[in-house]
Each structure stands twice: as structure tokens, then as C-alpha cells.
Structure 1
Amino acid sequence: MSVNYMYFGVVLILLGVVAELYPYFSKLKRFSKAELANIDQMKGIEFEEYMAFLLEKAGYIKPKVTQAYGDQGIDIIAKKDDVKLGIQCKRWKKKVGNKAVQEVHAGIGYYSLDKAIVVTNSYFTESAEQLAKKLDVELWDRTDLTKLLEQVKKQAK
């Protein structure tokens, strides 16, 4: 009788492990095949998670998505070549303006970062580009995102 309880316990533990790992592998499968068209349909938080996934595949160290609210303008924190980066993700249909640059710049001090980046599936306004240059904030637009996707795909082969 006690052997049956032990098997039942083992089965319950295995089901728990599978339930914990399923979302991870589901996301991995979904993200590994994402194209720009998929990205354009993502919700904001999904885009942040996808960017963390993409950055890790591109060699960034431990990209971590910050909390969804009160993130102080930083959606992802990662390291590359001993540089601590803060990244703000904007999955938008319109051009991204100054506010995103201002927010990510403010996050540099809050998180003690070395550099800030704003990444979008769209493009930036001319004003945002000028401000980013002045504040030394890096901007990655749709073209840069495409290059990053291609880089990660080449590495996967």
C-alpha cells in the first residue's frame, strides 16, 4: 500500500515539474521562430520578454526583465563586455519620441547603469534622435532589430 502512495507522489512531483517547465519551453519555441511580423503583434510585456530572449542569444549576459510597473524607464537590464546596460522596449506602430529617451536616461542613475538603449520595432522621431545623441542614449530601430534577428539566426545554425 505504501509503495502505491510513493508512486503517486512521484507522479505528482513529475506533473508539477512539467507544469513549471511547459511555459518556458512554449515561450522558447514561440520566440525562436519570431519574425518582425510576429513582433509587430506582440503585447508590450511580451516584446520585453522576447528582447531579453534575443539579447541572451546574441551574447548579452543574464538579460533580466524588470518589474512591469514602476520600472523607472528600464525594461531589461543586461551586461555586454563588462558594460551594464538598461534597455527600454517600445513595441509601437508610430514613431517613438523624446519621452522614451528621457525615461531610459533617467533609469541610468536609478539602476547604476553604464549605458542606455531604446529598442523599437518602429522608428524614432528626429527630435528623439537628436536628444539621444546629446544624452548618449543608443537607439535601435526596426532596421537594427532586423539585423539582430539575422545575427541570432546565423548563430543558431
Structure 2
Amino acid sequence: MNRDWMNRRLLSMAIAIGIVISLVTFHDTRLVLGITVLSTEASLAAYYVIRKKYTVAGLFAIAMAATALSFSHNPLLRNSDILIVALGIAAIGFYNKYFAAPRLKAEQLQRIEQSGIQQMEEMEPEAFLESMELHFYAKGWAPERTPRTNNHGANLVVNKPNGNRVAVRLRASREAVGTRWVEEVIGSRPYYHADAGMVITTSEFTAGAREIAKKNDIELWNRSDLIDSLIEVSEKQEQAEKTVQA
């Protein structure tokens, strides 16, 4: 599962919990609004700390302080609520547009280049198969090739260190992968005595493919997941080289 997607899901849950608690606990609209804004800002601050974006997290912390101040019961501050919150939002928006967004884009481009995913997208099926076979070896998994023809829906069968056998279907493409590829790997599991199934692509999956995969416990690696795995192996290899040189 994509770690960033998981972090966003936890963020949404935290915000929702804050809203529910405020609605159940308080009848004052002012307090409900204040706690909702605070829970959102706190969740965003935590999210960016997880992503190691400490400057952005700090801005959200400042916004939290401003919100708490503006929603206090001090009569002198009640008329400045909208102004303080608006200034906090504007500051965060300015930072994201002119500093965070360009930096994030540069980091994404660096990750893409480091992973080599662009070369994979252009590969013929056989070359992509060889590349993934080497990648699995580097991860410490033991891949077995299936026949080139009549492979019953799997390109590889991977033996993981925990003893599980995984039937793997590969698809190098720029187009979204549909239900056919997931159905094929589902059908291949009994033939190869596999404990699980996996479909890997350099692209994305359709909603239908994800639904079928979820119902049949098939693991899906989309472009982002594949990049994460490629970089993880690359960094481990670099670290191992540094250790040997030292």
C-alpha cells in the first residue's frame, strides 16, 4: 500500500474524529467551529511531521496558535476571528504555492529519475520481466519464471522469505490496467500452488480492477508503489556499498 495514501487516510480520519467530538460535546456553534479548525490544523501539522516537512508543520502549528487565540473567550479578540484565521490560511497558501510545491515537484522528479521507472515504461514485456526478476532478487525474494506461452496468467512466481508463494502478473504500460490482468492472476494461483497474487504495472489501475483485487486479496503495485520499491532497493544497495568501502 502506498505510504503517502495511508498517511492521507489517517489525516482524514483525525479531522473527522475532531469534527464528530466537537459536534457531540458542544452546542455552541463558535466552539464547534473552533475545535473543527484546530483538529484540522493539528492533523495537517502531524501529517507534515510524518513526511519530514518540518517548515510546513511549523506553519500549521502557528496557525493552530492563532486559531486558539481567536476562538478564546477574550471579548477583545472576538471581532478579529476571521482576520486571524484568514491570515494563517493565506500564509500557509503562500508558502505552499511558492516554496513547498516547487520543492515537492523537484523531489518527485528526483525520485522518478532515481527509480528508473521511465525506462521501464518503454520496455518490451520480456525486458520488463527481466528487470522485475532482478529487482525481486535484490529484495531477497526468489522469483521463478513461468512459460512464455500458456503461462496461465502469471509471468513469475515469487518465493518470499516467509515461505509464501506469490503469483505475479506484470504489465509495463502507460495506460490504466483493467480487470483482465487481475482476473488472470487470480486464475493462476491454483495452478502454481500460490498463496497469494500480485499485479505490478508502471501505470495505474482502473476502479474495476481495484474492486476485484480487493475482493480476492490480490496485491496491486501501481506506478507509485513500484517507484517506492525500486528506490528502497537502490538505497539499500548504496548503503551496502558504503559499508563495504568503509
Per the shorter chain, which TM-score range? Answer: 0.7 to 0.9
- Taking the aligned partners of 2:119 and 2:174, their CA distance within structure 1 comes to 13
- Counterpart of 2:146, as a letter, is T
Letter paired with 1:145: L
Structure 1 residue 55, shift from structure 2 partner: 0.8
> Over aligned residues, Cα RMSD in angstroms?
1.2
- The TM-score, its normalising length taken from structure 1, stands at 0.76
Please state whether the residue corresponding to 2:199 is helix, strand or coil: strand
1:56 partner letter: Y
Query: Which structure 2 residues correspond to residues 37-116 of structure 1 after superposition, within 5 A?
Result: 37-60=118-141, 62-80=142-160, 81-116=162-197
The 1:63/1:102 distance shift into structure 2, 3 A limit, reads same
Q: Which runs of 5+ in 2 are unaligned?
A: 1-113, 239-246
Please state which structure has a larger fraction of its residues in strand. 1
Q: CA deviation at 1:34?
A: 6.7
Q: Which has the larger radius of gyration?
A: 2
* Identical amino acids, percent of aligned pairs: 28
Could you tell me whether the CA contact under 8 Å between 2:204 and 2:223 is conserved in 1?
A: yes
Equivalent in 130, 146, 154 of residue 227 of structure 2: 146
Q: Is the 8 A contact 1:75 1:88 kept in 2?
A: yes
* Contact in 1 for aligned 2:179/2:209 (Cα 8 Å): yes
Structure 1 runs (4+) deviating above 3 angstroms are none
AA of the residue aligned to 1:136: D
Give 1:92 deviation, angstroms: 1.2
Q: Deviations over 1:66-115 (max 9, x none)?
A: 12111001101111111011100001121000000100000001111000
Deviation string 1:23-61 (CA, Å, 9 cap, x unpaired) is xxxxxxxxxx8701110111011111111110110111x
SS of the aligned residue for 1:73 comes to: coil
Q: How many residues align?
A: 124
**What stretches of structure 1 of length at least 5 have no aligned partner?**
1-32
Letter of the 2:236 partner, please give it. Q
Counterpart secondary structure, 2:224: helix
What is the aligned counterpart of 1:127 among 205, 208, 218? 208
| Bigger fraction of residues in helix | 2
1:49 and 1:65 in contact (8 A); partners too: no
Q: Does the Cα contact within 8 Å between 1:94 and 1:123 map onto a contact in 2?
A: yes
Higher RCO (CA-CA < 8 Å; seq separation 6+): 1
TM-score, normalization by structure 2: 0.49
